[in-house]
């Protein structure tokens, strides 16, 4: 879970310093939940997912323009 730090925690986690106040960190859900309960961090909204869908059905694609034929006189 990705969280934003509300305070600066001194020391390190797995040999890496904690982010500064306002910084982000990805943690296992249980550890993040504990920091949220302690009000040391706040949750972040889920990141938007970029749509990558493409039309696969021919009917969904635009039909080519039709030519008008002129009647012969």
- What pLDDT was estimated at residue 51? 73
Confidence of residue 3 (pLDDT cuts 50, 70, 90): very high
pLDDT computed for residue 46 by the predictor:
72
Q: Could you give the CA distance from residue 54 to residue 70 in angstroms, rounded to a whole number?
A: 37
Q: What is the distance between the terminal CA atoms of the chain, rounded to a whole angstrom? A: 75
Q: What is the pTM of this model?
A: 0.60
- Position with higher pLDDT, 70 vs 42: 42
> Does position 5 have pLDDT exceeding 80, yes or no?
yes
Hey, what are 2's tokens? 């990705």
Give the number of other Cβ atoms within 10 Å of residue 41's Cβ.
27
Domain range annotation of the chain: 2-47
Q: For residue 60, is pLDDT > 60?
A: no
């Amino acid at each position: 879970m990705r969280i934003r730090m509300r305070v600066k925690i001194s020391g390190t986690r797995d040999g890496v310093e904690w982010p500064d106040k306002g910084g982000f960190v990805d943690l296992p859900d249980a550890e993040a939940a504990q920091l949220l309960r302690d009000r040391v961090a706040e949750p972040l909204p889920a990141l938007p997912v970029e749509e990558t869908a493409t039309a696969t059905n021919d009917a969904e694609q635009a039909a080519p323009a039709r030519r008008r034929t002129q009647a012969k006189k």
